[in-house]
Amino acid sequence: MTDPNRERYRIRETAFYLFTQQSLPACKPVLTPGWVITIFLFMGLIFIPVGLVTLRASHSVVEIVDRYDIECVPESSRIDKISYIQDDSIPKNCSRFMKVRKYMKAPINIYYQLDNYYQNHRRYVKSRSDKQLLHGRKYHDTSSCQPVELNNGQPIVPCGLIAWSLFNDSFTFIRERAELKVNRKNIAWKSDRDHKFGKNVHPFSFQNGTLIGGGKLYPKIPLSDQEDLIVWMRTSALPSFRKLYGRIEEDLDVDDVIVVNLMNNYNTYSFGGKKKLVLSTSSWLGGKNNFLGHACIIVGCSSLVLAIVFTLLHLKYRRPYGDTSYLPWNRKSLSG
């Protein structure tokens, strides 16, 4: 072989040449019964155990849920809950009893759950100013915070509907007359505390206006330490959500009765929302959620069923693969 020939040969073999000729080596997978049945079998064999493990993890989570929004309104006021909750002169104290049915290992997360609460409403999610949360009053443009933007011409810190509607029920827990220690630190994301909420930003003119929304903030404490606010401002995408209130760092034994003293301040009555208190342990998968486990098992089972059906179909109706004599033009040419 002469040199130019070899050169040409080499060029012909290069990837770019093959690309230009659309003849790059390709693998062409075919949906053969073997492959497809194997895939479904494999899927079934993966998902059923995964589902079982997931379900087990979910079941290992102990959870106590207590809805308190109706019970905590005195019988006399239940007809008109809205005026009850809006009346500041009435004390909102309330006590609830929770019975531990299963041993709960510390740390036990305390969540408050709101149902039918649209934190994802467009008007609501948009009404905040991330820059102001970080830089405080140095950042002037708070137009995104409408309609809770200014108070007497002074910018509100933190501005916006989300901060303004801060959840303000509070809970204390007593077990056998001794107060349970609730750790309310580190309930917010560390990244939020460090990078999203300013260390030198203090609340200013917050909840001072004519319209009082939810909770108040301590003007002396910088926003980065106001963890309730930080948690609240991580808006939820769903109308039912739980937010972390604190952690109990003691184990709870079976049949322990916990007395919860709470301040029922937050108004969910005007829109028919529910308030719940949740005590929950956690597993490697998070809180109690059977959905993933069930879904995995369903997918796994249906995969297995499909695999079996396909196998039976394949055994019963064996079809010669790729028989070109089935093509109409070939059939015609055979008959005619």
Partner 1 sequence: MKRYVYINENESSHELYCDNRISNRKYTVLNFLPKNLWEQFSRFMNQYFLLIACLQLWSLITPVNPASTWGPLIFIFAVSASKEAWDDYNRYLSDKKANEKLVWVVRQGIRKHIQAQDIHVGNIVWLRENDEVPCDLVLIGTSDPQGLCYVETSALDGETDLKTRGIPATCMGIDFELLHKIKGVIECPNPDKDIRRFDANLRLFPPFIDNDVCPLTIKNTILQSCYLRNTEWACGVAVHTGNETKLGMSRGIPEPKLTAMDAMIDKLTGAIFVFQIVVVMVLGIAGNVWKDTEARKQWYVLYPLEGPWYELLVIPLRFELLCSIMIPISIKVSLDLVKSLYAKFIDWDSEMIDYETGIPSHATNTAISEDLGQVEYIMTDKTGTLTENRMIFRRCCINGVFYGNESGDALKLLNAVAGSSPDVIQFVTVMAICNTVIPIKSKTGAILYKAQSQDEDALVNAAAQLHMVYANKNANILEIRFNGSIIKYELLEILEFTSDRKRMSVVVKDCQNGKILLLSKGADEAILPYAYDGQQTRTFIEVVEQYAQLGLRTLCLAWRELKEDEYQEWSLMFKEASSTLVDREWRIAEVCQRLEHEFEVLGVTAIEDCLQDGVPETIETLRKAGINFWMLTGDKQNTAIQIALSCNFISPEPKGQLLLIDGKTEDEVCRSLERVLLTMRITSSEPKDVAFVVDGWALEIALKHYRKAFTELAILSRTAICCRVTPSQKAQLVELLKSCDYRTLAIGDGGNDVRMIQQADIGVGISGREGLQAARAADYSIGKFRFLKRLILVHGRYSYNRTAFLSQYSFYKSLVICFIQIFFSFISGVSGTSLFNSVSLMAYNVFYTSVPVLVSVLDKDLSEGTVMQHPQILFYCQAGRLLNPSTFAGWFGRSLFHAIIVFVITIHAYAYEKSEMEELSMVALSGCIWLQAFVVALETNSFTVLQHLAIWGNLVAFYVINWIISAIPASGMYTIMFRLCRQPSYWITMFLIVAAGMGPVLALKYLRYTYRPSKINTLQQAERMGGPILTLGNIEPQPRSIEKEVSPLSITQPKSRSPVYEPLLSDSPNSSRRSLGPGTPFDFFQLQSRLSSNYSRNCKDN
Residues 48-77 that bind partner 1 (CB under 8 A): 50, 54
Which span (70-78, 169-177, 254-262, 328-336) binds partner 1, by CB under 8 A? 328-336
304 binding partner 1? (CB under 8 A):
no
286 binding partner 1? (CB under 8 A):
yes
* Residue tagged 């322990």 (tokens): 256
Nearer to partner 1, 41 or 174 (CB): 41
Q: Give me the least distance between CB of 59 and partner 1, in Å please.
A: 15
CA 120 from chain centre, in angstroms, equals 12
The tokens describing 146, both together, are 């409408």
Whether residue 234 contacts residue 189, with contact meaning beta carbons closer than 8 Å, is answered with: yes
Rule CB under 8 A: choose which of 67, 118, 151, 263 binds partner 1. Answer: 118
Nearer to partner 1, 122 or 177 (CB): 122
Per-residue binder mask for partner 1 (CB under 8 A), 231-270, x = binder: ---xxxxxxxxxxx----------------------x--x
* Residue tagged 């989570």 (tokens): 61
b/e for 199-229, b at 16 or more Cβ within 10 A?
Answer: eebbbbbbbeeeeebbbebeeeebbbebbbb
Rule CB under 8 A: choose which of 182, 299, 301, 304 binds partner 1. Answer: 299
Q: Give me the least distance between CB of 306 and partner 1, in Å please.
A: 6
Rule CB under 8 A: choose which of 59, 140, 181, 195 binds partner 1. Answer: 195
Q: Give me the least distance between CB of 54 and partner 1, in Å please.
A: 6
Q: Can you tell me the distance from the alpha carbon of 61 to that of 66, in angstroms, rounded to the nearest whole number?
A: 16
Whether residue 107 contacts residue 251, with contact meaning beta carbons closer than 8 Å, is answered with: no
Q: Can you tell me the distance from the alpha carbon of 156 to that of 136, in angstroms, rounded to the nearest whole number?
A: 10
Q: Give me the least distance between CB of 177 and partner 1, in Å please.
A: 30
Q: Can you tell me the distance from the alpha carbon of 43 to that of 302, in angstroms, rounded to the nearest whole number?
A: 9
Rule CB under 8 A: choose which of 9, 103, 218, 271 binds partner 1. Answer: 271
Q: For 22, left (φ over 0), alpha (ψ -120 to 50), or beta? A: left
Rule CB under 8 A: choose which of 77, 113, 151, 170 binds partner 1. Answer: 113
